[in-house]
Amino acid sequence: MQLPLTQREVALEHTGGYVAPEFGDDMDAREIETLFTRADGQFLCARWSRAIVPVVFGVDDATLAIVKGAFEAIVTLAGHKMAETDPELGANLMMFFLRDWDELLDVPNLDRLIDGLSPLVARLQAAEANQYRVFRFDCENAIRAAFVFVRIDDDLAQVPAETLALSQAVQVILLWSDTAFTDRPALARVQGATILRPDISALIRAAYDPVLPPVADDPAHALRLAARIASVH
């Protein structure tokens, strides 16, 4: 397997919708393949290789509890684990909530963690993006760290904190395609409540099944994921 993935960017140009009006049945292999096939045609599915240690900047204590609660829920769903510290990195999941992309330039030492920070900020401003994610990988190309940036624009200011936090947790638990949830969000509304779509929930659990490899770049991996989902029904 040859995957030059020291750093991979997943930028969402501008996302306002977070909740699908409905959810359907379990996905077939073709639908699963689409969720991990990037716009350039490359298939890649990767999960975390180590316990997740999140740290969140730019929110008050009440929102911090909501964000961490959302990550705990998704990590538990995956059958993965969280920890108090990463022995190598300290924290391996850094989340920044901000009002303007310029704020990133004032974060101490962030330019040492994110390659080309200044031109990146200019690019995000030009695109009027409200989200951006960067993943780092270990020697086997499983996820070892992630950086999540969320700019609270007018659209996101209308999204409940619980919905925003759950959506971010879902989108960082696996390396999804850069277009995975463009047409249909990972969350759905049921009887007035916002929940994770059951088909996405089943897919996350399947991707973390220990019998499957932590990284796959062969589209046939979608068949294995579909088979794992079917086996638990």
Q: Is residue 1 part of a domain?
A: no
The predicted structure's pLDDT at residue 19? 58
Q: Which residues form the domain of 128?
A: 7-231
Q: Is residue 60 part of a domain?
A: yes
Q: For residue range 140-157, list pLDDT tens digits in order.
A: 999 999 999 999 999 999
Domain count, the chain: 1
- 11 vs 87, more confident: 87
Q: Is residue 181 part of a domain?
A: yes
Q: Is residue 103 part of a domain?
A: yes
The predicted structure's pLDDT at residue 22? 54
Q: For residue range 221-233, list pLDDT tens digits in order.
A: 999 999 999 987 6
Give bridge partners of residue 187 from the DSSP assignment.
Answer: 19, 196
Q: Is residue 2 part of a domain?
A: no
pTM: 0.89
Q: Is residue 83 part of a domain?
A: yes
Q: Is residue 30 part of a domain?
A: yes
The fraction of the chain above a pLDDT of 70, given in percent, is 88
Q: Is residue 183 part of a domain?
A: yes
